[in-house]
Structure 1
Amino acid sequence: MAGYGSKGERLVAGVVPLSKDKAKVLLIQSSGGKSWVLPKGGWELDESTAQKAAEREAWEEGGITLENASWKDLKAIPDLRPTSALSNSAPKASYQFFEAVVKEEKSNWPEKHKRTRQWYTFAQAAQQLAQRPELLEALKRSSLKR
């Protein structure tokens, strides 16, 4: 069960997974398989922090573990979608993103059957995320090399 903020917005936590040299970012296929996205999802009620939720999403969706010391809070990002893009299945959300360095890419993970992952440079990733302003904003706030 996902948590909600004071205005009824869904609380979403995510991560910008970086290579050790911060030259590349790891994107994952969206659940529909049509686009590339950052690992993110609902901050569950039993998770004490947004970082714990982001770490779980990185594992479930991307099969990655992250270096503990590398976490950086990218601050809250408002839902920038127009009202016309919102629906019951995609309600207004508040995004909490972090950046972290990928420690390991596992060969088996919970959503392996429906997602692949791929490394991108900043320019490539910005192009992939152009239709998702909140993800693009998280990318821009990260210390990924341009």
Structure 2
Amino acid sequence: MSAATLCARKGRHRQRYDDHYRLVAGCIPYRLKETGENHHHSHDLLDRLQVLMISTPNRTDLVFPKGGWEDDETVAEAACREALEEAGVKGIISEAPLGDWIFRSKSSENSSSPQGACKGYIFALEVTEELEFWPEQANHGRRWVSMRDAYELSRYEWMREALDAFQKQLLGGKILAQSANMSEPSSLCMMLPAAAERAIALC
């Protein structure tokens, strides 16, 4: 499947809901810069760590790729699809989400109505491939930043909390151990399983 022919899934006819919450899946894409030093040292890890953030139309802040979790995919598949559609990256997704957060959609963030409330599940995603072209490239630029800059650029408190959880998971060795045990690129994002293939349709 050529990156140039990929299209983002449109509409909300398959959108999942939990009570009045729209269910959302997303990820913190990351990479570790190469170095000859011992990469298991906590300070070295943080120095080498970069996360990928994306721009959105008519906004100056940066966010993490995320979007609606639909009824023909798992939550991890939805996070992988959004990373591909919005940021043009594939990789190894963590086995469990960093957590879940309640937030409001961009169009309703100043409203007190239950309408527009979202419940989002955020995963860590070790990036192994960056596409030159991706479905939502016209709406989302991408930018690699340090963890320090990511905290400063995060508009919302839930994003900083997700970064806290990501840092704890990384330093706890859960992410690195998972990646090291994969002899083949067999993660959800690398495989693009059947549901994810249906989610990213050909133009």
Gaps of 5+ in 1: none
Amino acid at match of 2:22: R
Task: For residue 60 of structure 1, give the secondary structure of its aligned residue in structure 2.
Answer: helix
Are residue 16 (structure 1) and residue 28 (structure 2) matched?
yes
TM-score norm. by structure 2 comes to 0.61
- 1:127 counterpart = 2:152: yes
Could you tell me which residue of structure 2 aligns to residue 43 of structure 1?
A: 69
How many correspondences in the alignment? 139
Percent identity between the two aligned chains = 32
Distance in 1 of aligned mates of 2:140 and 2:166: 23
1:4 and 2:51 equivalent? no
TM-score relative to the length of structure 1: 0.83
Secondary structure of the structure 2 residue equivalent to 1:51: helix
Of 131-140 and 106-115, deviating more is: 131-140
* CA displacement 1:57-91 (0-9 Å, x = unmatched): 000000000125x544212122289x962378x71
Give, in whole Å, the separation in 1 of the partners of 2:109 and 2:80.
31
Letter matched to residue 29 of structure 2:
P
**Where does residue 32 of structure 1 map in the other structure?**
58
Structure that is richer in helix per residue: 2
1:140 to 152, 164, 187: 164
Equivalent-residue separation in structure 1 for 2:51 and 2:21 (angstroms): 28
- Rounded to whole Å, the distance in 1 between the matches of 2:157 and 2:83 is 20
Instruction: Give the counterpart of 1:104 among 115, 120, 129.
Output: 129
**Rg bigger for which structure?**
2
1:56 matches 2:69 = no
CA contact (8 A) 2:23 2:68 kept: yes
RMSD: 2.5
In the alignment, which of 115, 128, 131 is matched to residue 140 of structure 2? Answer: 115
Unpaired runs of at least 5, structure 2:
1-11, 34-44, 172-203
